[in-house]
């Protein structure tokens, strides 16, 4: 045996085109296989036959990384300050603040960690595709070994039921059929060959690939690629390396947290220093700094966002859209381009024969008109599908299966197949576009039966069957037949042609066939698809159809579902064109409103996704196969079909349980509503920041007794505000939600308009209500300006209780008016959202608990107050409601400048 240096561990790429003898020499192996010693040396040099994983961080490290964001650091800092204050002056309630802040950080970190951990399951689904054992020729004998032991140069034995353990070139085969769907997406197992049948390795019949399944027959193959060098291994690494993009809502939340945290830290430090110089008391200044930080940070925001997204995902699940990553709910609302498969998504995936055309004219497939006997025979015996009792009535390729279902009305399929047993098969592939079988006739002769693309078969025929008689097929006849074929394709039918000839021997024939006719199978468009696409157009979303069908058929289906541009026809790009287009040319053609990619392979989807993203688009991509996984994961929003592979589902952000395009559009509407609602409850939550911050400023600058303590701030942020905010999260979308263009990437959650509404309009009204109630209690209790009160003084405790109650009363009005951003809340009906009513009830219950329950009085340092002090806040609540309604009126009826100033 030659020296081992003469072979290499990785594929060169021409293993399918060179001779098998040359390949064996290159790999330094023989048909009898390797010796055990040589196999061991090769394993040490090339590695085991396993899919490699990138070195990953430990779970513990990943978990603790969640504590490194701005929000977590700030709250941990506030918790540490509270623990310090408790240590310096025990019994003042700072321990409760410290524990509450720490608890918020732990909950947020744990949830984020769980979400990221789920992403790691993608690699496991690829690992499950690898077989556990394989039969290999070692030392001249066939032995069964773990698949991980296979090395380059091994000879593997394959038979029915085996999963191929690595990529190999066949050197022996006996009626071997392999299901290549995990790699190529082919619906039907394909017959293998020892000869090179295609320039593309993936479509060449002399290849077998790791993770594919042997359906029938047996054979032997020499291995030339193992582990991550195999096709499935490269796909696995590509999917792992193709990082999931950060969701728009995550970017916005990170930005929001940084802004709010920066403001809180800045104010906390500034007022700590000022307080220390003015009051010269470290502890008081420390407590003040804690208060400023806690008052500025909406501690309940992230849990509320999480709950809002979770509730939205549950609503979507009821509409057949299963969301895997919660933050992806909002990504749908930002979508500017939807790239969708045709079959089963825009169509019903119910392929059925719609028409049959012969030299004698059309046969109506919907009636009991029987096509010519010979055409039926060819359609049955030149067919690899089979009838089934399960829906849709067959197993295998939908086009072939629909033929059997159609012919079963007239003929006994099994009897016909047994009368004409198959002697040889020359299978269909995308290069030759035809399938041919040699069958034995009942008379003992042989016939060759041919089925395939019309343009291919017409070139192989020189006669035509007309009313059971043969006649010469002229060029004029061919042109007329081509016109009929195109008419069928324009109706959206998938057209096949049929022919036959006598066979003198078992071999593949290329000419002198007798043309029999065409069949046209139609996969009806989903009735709801047209309306769904129109909704996309009204919402400013571009729709792209990706299919492997002929461009004429694809254009016909596009017309049926309303996939058109402003001037009519959508832009058509075929797979071969896509390969030749430069990035600049492709970018220019992608500017059209509607685009069709025809004769496209699943692996080209990733190129399409990246081209759109380079143009600044937010892309939603659908897919169902293993080879769709990189595109699905790289898209801003990956959508897998419920009928698809596990790997596709693992890579996706959303799974369509009904495979329906309309479900995607419904989900887009839900995503837009989610962003709107998050903005609403951010504006709602921020409003209460003003009456939380101003008491501390008044405490320092005016030497007032502190009008609201930190415990009560947390009671608002983590108690009374939570359920109303969640109620806003489940609010139905406003009437124009799907009439607006997609949200711009420049549109932020936190805008000057949001701050103006919360901090400049509604917040000051709430603060005024709080101070009025606060001073009413103090003055009625005999307090005079400049008088200091101990925190345990009953009058002080009543005063801060009144301030707290006033904020809650105003927040009730705030939650009502926050239900809409731009339209009057009366357009929705005051009581149409029951969750809002439940939220208000929860606010009042918490308020009563904090005012009247002794244990709560101890924790929050409150005291019972007469109802009259609470009612003082009602006029302010009505003023807040009226002020926001006026703002909305000005947005809808004011000048453009006013709309830009007040609208958010």
Q: Residues with catalytic annotation?
A: 341
User: Helix (H, G, I), strand (E, B), or coil: what is residue 725?
Assistant: helix
Identify whether the C-beta of residue 515 lies closer than 8 Å to the C-beta of residue 372. Answer: no
Please, how many CA atoms are within 13 Å of residue 442, restricted to the half-sphere of its CB?
6
Return d(Cα 291, Cα 698) in angstroms, integer: 12
Cα distances from 284 to residues 275, 692, 784, in angstroms, run 8, 17, 22
Looking from the CA of 480 toward its CB, the CA atoms found within 13 Å total: 12
Tell me how far apart the alpha carbons of residues 192 and 174 are, in angstroms, rounded to a whole number: 9
Count Cβ atoms below 10 Å from residue 616 Cβ, excluding itself. 8
The SS3 call for residue 423 is: strand
d(CA 489, CA 214): 34
CB 590 within 8 Å of CB 613: no
User: Which DSSP string corresponds to 375-391?
Assistant: HHHHHHHS---EE-SST
Q: Cα(695)–Cα(333) distance, rounded to whole angstroms?
A: 39
The closest alpha carbon to 96, from 885, 850, 886, belongs to 850
| 724 CB-near residues (< 8 Å, 6+ apart) | 681, 684, 811, 812, 815, 836, 839, 840, 842, 843
Rounded to whole angstroms, the Cα distance separating 329 from 671 reads: 5
Residue 653 near residue 331 (C-beta atoms within 8 A)? yes
H or E segment and range at residue 222 = strand 213-225
Distances in Å between the alpha carbon of 816 and those of 388, 758, 825? 58, 14, 7
According to DSSP, residue 49 is labeled: S
DSSP 155-185: EEEEETTPBP-SEEEEEEEEEEEEE-HHHH-
Whole-angstrom CA distances from 749 to 255, 299, 682 are 9, 17, 8
Tokens read off for 578: 């896509």
Q: Which residue has the tokens 């500025």?
A: 296
Nearest Cα residue to 72 out of 84, 60, 63: 63
Calculate ∠ Cα 889-753-295, nearest 5°.
120
Query: CA 637 to CA 498: how far, in whole Å?
Result: 43
From residue 333, give the alpha-carbon distance in Å to each of 243, 247, 327, 543, 780.
Answer: 21, 11, 11, 15, 53
What is the distance between the alpha carbons of residues 205 and 194, in angstroms, rounded to a whole number? Answer: 7
Tell me the angle at which helices 94-118 and 301-318 cross, rounded to the nearest 10 degrees: 40
HSE, CB side, 13 Å, CA atoms: give it for residue 274.
Answer: 17
Indicate the burial class of 868 (C-beta count within 10 angstroms; 0-12, 13-18, 19 or more). Answer: exposed
What's the token pair of residue 200?
Answer: 């593309």
Report the distance separating Cα 421 and Cα 438, nearest Å.
9
How do 469-472 and 386-387 pair as beta strands?
Answer: unpaired
Q: Are strands 167-179 and 190-191 parallel, antiparallel or unpaired?
A: antiparallel
Q: How far apart are the first and last CA of the chain?
A: 77
Phi, psi of 506 (to 5 degrees): -85, 100
Which 8-state DSSP code applies to residue 136? E
Residue 834 token pair: 């029951």
């Amino acid at each position: 045996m030659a020296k081992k240096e003469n072979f290499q561990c990785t594929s060169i790429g021409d293993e399918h085109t060179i001779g098998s003898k040359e390949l064996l020499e290159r790999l330094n192996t023989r048909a009898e296989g390797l010796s055990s010693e040589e196999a061991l040396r090769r394993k040490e040099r090339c590695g085991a036959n396993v899919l490699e994983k990138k070195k990953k961080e430990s779970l513990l490290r990943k978990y603790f990384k969640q504590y490194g964001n701005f929000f977590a650091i700030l709250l941990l800092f506030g918790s540490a300050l509270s623990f310090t204050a408790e240590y310096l002056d025990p019994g003042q309630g700072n321990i409760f603040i410290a524990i509450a802040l720490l608890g918020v950080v732990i909950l947020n970190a744990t949830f984020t960690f769980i979400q990221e951990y789920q992403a790691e399951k993608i690699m496991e689904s690829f690992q499950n595709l690898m077989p556990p054992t394989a039969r290999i020729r070692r030392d001249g004998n066939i032995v069964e070994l773990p698949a991980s032991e296979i090395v380059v140069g091994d000879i593997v034995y394959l038979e029915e039921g085996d999963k191929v353990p690595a990529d190999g070139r066949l050197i022996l085969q006996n009626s071997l059929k392999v299901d290549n769907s995990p790699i190529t997406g082919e619906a039907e197992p394909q017959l293998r060959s020892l000869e090179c049948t295609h320039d593309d390795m993936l479509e060449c019949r002399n290849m077998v690939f790791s993770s594919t399944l042997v359906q029938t027959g047996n054979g032997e193959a020499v291995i030339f690629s193992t582990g991550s060098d195999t096709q499935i291994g490269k796909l696995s690494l590509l999917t792992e390396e193709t990082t999931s993009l950060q969701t728009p809502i995550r970017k916005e939340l990170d930005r929001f947290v940084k802004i709010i945290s920066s403001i809180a830290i800045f104010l906390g430090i500034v007022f700590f220093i000022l307080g220390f110089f003015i009051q010269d008391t470290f502890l008081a200044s420390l407590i003040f700094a804690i208060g400023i930080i806690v008052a500025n940070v909406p501690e309940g925001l992230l849990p509320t966002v999480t709950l809002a997204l979770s509730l939205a995902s549950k609503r979507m699940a009821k509409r057949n859209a299963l969301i895997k990553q919660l933050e992806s709910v909002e990504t749908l609302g930002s979508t500017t381009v939807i790239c969708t498969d045709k079959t089963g998504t825009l169509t019903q995936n119910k392929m059925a024969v719609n028409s049959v055309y012969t030299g004698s004219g059309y046969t109506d497939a919907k009636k009991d008109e029987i096509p010519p006997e010979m055409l039926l025979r060819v359609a049955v015996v030149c067919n690899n599908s089979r009838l089934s009792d399960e829906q849709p009535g067959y197993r295998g390729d939908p086009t072939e299966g629909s033929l059997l279902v159609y012919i079963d009305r007239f003929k006994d399929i099994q009897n016909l197949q047994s009368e004409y047993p198959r002697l040889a098969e020359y299978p269909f592939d995308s290069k030759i576009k035809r399938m041919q079988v040699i069958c034995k006739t009942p008379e003992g002769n042989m016939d060759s039966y041919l089925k395939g693309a019309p343009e291919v078969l017409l070139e192989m025929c020189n006669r035509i069957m007309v009313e059971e008689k043969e006649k010469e097929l002229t060029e004029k006849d061919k042109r007329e037949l081509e016109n009929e074929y195109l008419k069928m394709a324009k109706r959206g039918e998938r057209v096949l042609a049929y022919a036959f000839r006598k066979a003198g021997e078992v071999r593949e024939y290329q000419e002198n066939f007798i043309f029999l006719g065409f069949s046209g199978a139609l996969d009806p468009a989903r009735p709801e698809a047209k309306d769904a696409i129109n909704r996309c157009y009204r919402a400013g979303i571009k729709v792209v159809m990706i299919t492997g069908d002929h461009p004429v058929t694809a254009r016909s289906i596009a017309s049926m579902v309303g996939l058109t541009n402003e001037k009519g026809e959508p832009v058509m790009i075929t797979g071969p064109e896509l390969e030749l287009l430069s990035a600049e040319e492709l970018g220019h053609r992608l500017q059209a409103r509607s685009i069709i990619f025809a004769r496209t392979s699943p692996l080209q989807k990733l190129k399409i996704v990246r081209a759109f993203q380079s143009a600044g688009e937010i892309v939603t991509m659908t897919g169902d196969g293993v080879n769709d996984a990189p595109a699905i994961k790289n898209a801003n929003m990956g959508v897998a079909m419920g009928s698809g592979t596990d790997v596709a589902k693992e890579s996706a952000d959303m799974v369509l349980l009904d495979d329906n395009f309309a479900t995607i559009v419904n989900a887009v509407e839900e995503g837009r509503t989610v962003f709107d609602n998050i903005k609403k409850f951010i504006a709602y939550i921020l409003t209460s920041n003003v009456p939380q911050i101003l008491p501390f400023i008044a405490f320092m600058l005016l030497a007032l007794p502190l009008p609201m303590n930190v415990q009560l701030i947390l009671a608002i942020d983590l108690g009374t505000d939570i359920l109303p905010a969640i109620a806003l999260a489940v609010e139905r979308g406003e009437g124009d939600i799907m009439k607006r263009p997609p949200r711009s990437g420049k549109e932020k959650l936190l805008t000057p308009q949001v701050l103006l509404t919360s901090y400049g309009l509604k917040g000051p009204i709430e603060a005024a209500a709080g101070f009025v109630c606060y001073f009413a209690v103090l003055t009625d209790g005999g307090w005079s300006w400049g008088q200091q009160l101990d925190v345990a003084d009953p009058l002080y405790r009543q005063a801060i209780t009144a301030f707290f109650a006033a904020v809650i009363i105003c927040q009730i009005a705030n939650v009502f008016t926050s239900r809409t951003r731009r339209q009057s809340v009366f357009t929705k009906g005051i009581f149409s959202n029951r969750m809002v009513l439940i939220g208000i009830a929860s606010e009042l219950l918490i308020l009563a608990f904090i005012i009247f329950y002794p244990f709560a009085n101890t924790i929050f340092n409150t005291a019972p107050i007469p109802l009259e002090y609470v009612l003082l806040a009602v006029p302010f609540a009505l003023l807040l409601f009226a002020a926001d309604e006026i703002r909305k009126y000005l947005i809808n009826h004011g000048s453009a400048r006013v709309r830009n100033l007040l609208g958010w």
